[in-house]
Amino acid sequence: MAQSKQRILVTGATGLVGAPLCVALSARGHSVRRLSRGTKGDYSWDVSAGQIDPAALNEIDVVIHLAGETVAQRWNTAAKERILRSRVDGTKLLIDQLVQQAKPPVFLCASGISYYGISREDHLDELATSGDGFLAEVTRQWESAVQPLIDVGGRVALLRTGIVLSKEGGALAKMLPPFKLGLGGRIGSGSQMMSWISLPDLVGAYVFAVENDLVQGPINAVAPSPVTNLDFTKTLGSVIGRPTLFQIPNVVIKTLFGEMGQETVLSNLGVIPARLQQLGFEWQTPSLSATLRKTIYQD
């Protein structure tokens, strides 16, 4: 296990995951620094200019890299370039600094289950090969950018995240209004697999990675039980007490969201968190119904 109190630098610290993660780390006695654009954090950086405040990395034990351009936007050539460059260039900027240190910090990097592609028929653990699509290419380049730190013996973990369930943002926050009006329903046949995790469990996975030296390499940061879109739809309807009779045809998603919708909303990936299970990580809410009830009514 890692030492009890760590000095941690977090990028993307004001985001959906970063904000509660910083709170959780501080509550456990760790010292947290926030690296952000402008004046929002303790230190600043400018990825496009290749600049970072050198003091940000002084005497740091762990770097948690969450920052990146949102995927949830209409993709055109410029947007795709921003999505790619924000992740790859940001990671390279950090890694270039870290490899120069006599004892490089632990590096925990956000990634995505989109590494595995758009649609796969089998359940996928961390040994599964990468797949097709723009986001798969983004994650391959993103993850490859950490290699220089691995080459000098640094501990690196790549947390491949699925759908993060929170009423504060992400997919569930967008789904709740129509579902509460009784307008929710499955997408297409509903047979496509959805790999999800509650926000508290994702925060817990990062804390676990900080405090456990055995966490390294690719880590599927998802709940143990992926579900079909139909099962997700029925469960959400049951939790909020609303019917889920509608069906959204695939063509509507493709028309509204284009390529982004094809690779996210319509993706079919049943991902298994084999490494977290092997390492003894405990989910607070491993079942979907419990997660939705806690997320919607208790958080």
- Cα distance between the two ends of the chain: 30
* Confidence (pTM): 0.95
pLDDT in tens, 217-272: 999 999 999 999 999 999 999 999 999 999 999 998 888 889 999 899 999 999 99
Residues 6 or more apart in contact with residue 57 via CB below 8 angstroms: 9, 63, 97, 98, 101, 105
Distance CA 104, CA 62 (A): 9
Task: Return the closest-CA partner of residue 196 out of 216, 157, 170.
Answer: 170
| C-alpha Rg value of the chain to the nearest Å | 19
pLDDT in tens, 45-61: 999 999 999 899 999 99
Q: How many CB atoms lie within 10 A of CB 284?
A: 12
Task: Return the closest-CA partner of residue 163 out of 216, 113, 109, 94.
Answer: 113
Distance CA 149, CA 127 (A): 21
